[in-house]
Amino acid sequence: MSQYLSSLFSLAGKTALIAGGAGAIGSAISEAFAKAGARVIVHDLSNERLAGLQARFEAENLLFDGIQVDLDSAVACNNLVEKALQVTGRIDILVNLQGINRRKPIVDVTQDDFDIITSVNFRSVYFLSRAVQPVMKAQGGGKILHFSSLSANISFDTISVYAATKAAVTSLTRSMAHEWAGDNIQVNAIEPGFVQTEFTRPLWDDEYRSRWFADYIPAGRLAVPEDLITTSLSLVAPASCYITGRSVVVDGGVLSGDSWVEKQD
Ligand SMILES: NC(=O)c1ccc[n+]([C@@H]2O[C@H](COP(=O)([O-])OP(=O)(O)OC[C@H]3O[C@@H](n4cnc5c(N)ncnc54)[C@H](O)[C@@H]3O)[C@@H](O)[C@H]2O)c1
């Protein structure tokens, strides 16, 4: 890469806290950020996933710092930031990838389902970002990247609460961007379409649905976690210092429209 391009996209000297970073998409993003020069602090709920990603980092000679916290309260979010600060004393980039889903028709959703999905997908994003903001402000700026979803724009059966939390994250992206622009903190989101991970296994591990995906997604396939790397990298790199409050859809063309042409087998 030319020196000019690396100055725009390098993360050298930056510390990145990746929440939910040992999940499927998180692992791809964490590794890419480390390869782009960042000191990556990977958070996850699962010690097993953290250990798996640590082995992957060590095989590539990349520095790994893992922190296990259940982001089930505002206090837990503050604790994560305090622990992360013990690594390098700064946080330049925060990525919020923590997320869960419980797929059920609206009439079967319990209060427990509602509370856990909103707590992980929205409340923790809100309070973790809020806990990081004073750190970034004191450092002179930073970048926050939320993982929203295509379902912030269109919904599908059985994901009513999930879709609403992701629409809330997209809205929060605008509010945080606006309130924190004066602190030189850029806040953006990615809205991925269908990514082939364990998270979506119930959707693609089924003959009817896998045929439906091939027809429905203009790109003709689900995304893989690596398809999210370039957008993520560009939204946390120096190159994007004038982009804030935006949500970028990465969906293989789903939102571009539908087809009237009869599909051939
Ligand atoms: N896979 C997709 O198709 C898709 C599409 C759109 C958006 N997304 C979003 O991207 C993000 C990552 O998705 P993924 O497919 O990699 O899923 P994943 O399940 O592999 O990753 C999510 C991570 O969140 C962590 N997590 C769950 N509950 C937590 C809690 N209480 N506290 C802290 N961490 C917790 C999990 O341990 C997991 O590692 C999610 O926010 C998801 O909603 C995924």
Closest residue by Cα to residue 137 from 67, 190, 86, 81: 81
Of all atoms in ligand 1, which is nearest to the CA of residue 19? 34
Cα of 20 vs centre of ligand 1, distance in Å, is 6
232 and 27 Cβ atoms separated by less than 8 Å: no
Of all atoms in ligand 1, which is nearest to the CA of residue 25? 16
- Spot the catalytic one: 4, 162, 208, 216: 162
DSSP conformation letters of the chain: --HHHHHHH--TT-EEEEETTTSHHHHHHHHHHHHTT-EEEEEES-HHHHHHHHHHHHHTT---EEEE----SHHHHHHHHHHHHHHHS---EEEE---------GGG--HHHHHHHHIIIIIHHHHHHHHHHHHHHHHT-EEEEEE--GGGTS--TT-HHHHHHHHHHHHHHHHHHHHHGGGTEEEEEEEE--B-SGGGHHHHSSHHHHHHHHHHSTTSS-B-GGGGHHHHHHHHSGGGTT--S-EEEESTTGGG----SPPP-
pLDDT of 265: 60
Cα of 164 vs centre of ligand 1, distance in Å, is 16
pLDDT of 261: 79
Angle, helices 47-59 vs 24-35, to 10°: value is 30
Closest residue by Cα to residue 144 from 12, 17, 8: 17
Distance CA 133, CA 153 (A): 27
Contacts of 85 (CB under 8 A, 6+ apart): 91, 135
Q: Whose CA is nearest to atom 38 of ligand 1?
A: 23
Tokens encoding 16: 């990145």
Cα of 23 vs centre of ligand 1, distance in Å, is 6
In order along its 265 residues, the chain shows pLDDT tens digits of 689 988 999 999 999 999 999 999 999 999 999 999 999 999 999 999 999 999 999 999 999 999 999 999 999 999 999 999 999 999 999 999 999 999 999 999 999 999 999 999 999 999 999 999 999 999 999 999 999 999 999 989 999 999 999 999 999 999 999 999 999 999 999 999 999 999 999 888 988 888 888 889 999 999 999 999 999 999 999 999 999 999 999 999 999 998 887 766 6
Sheet with strand 247-250: strands edge to edge: 65-68, 39-44, 15-19, 93-96, 142-147, 185-192, 247-250
pLDDT of 264: 67
36 and 11 Cβ atoms separated by less than 8 Å: yes
Q: pTM of the full predicted structure?
A: 0.98
Of all atoms in ligand 1, which is nearest to the CA of residue 222? 3
CATH number of 11-250: 3.40.50.720
| Domain ranges (residues) in the chain | 11-250
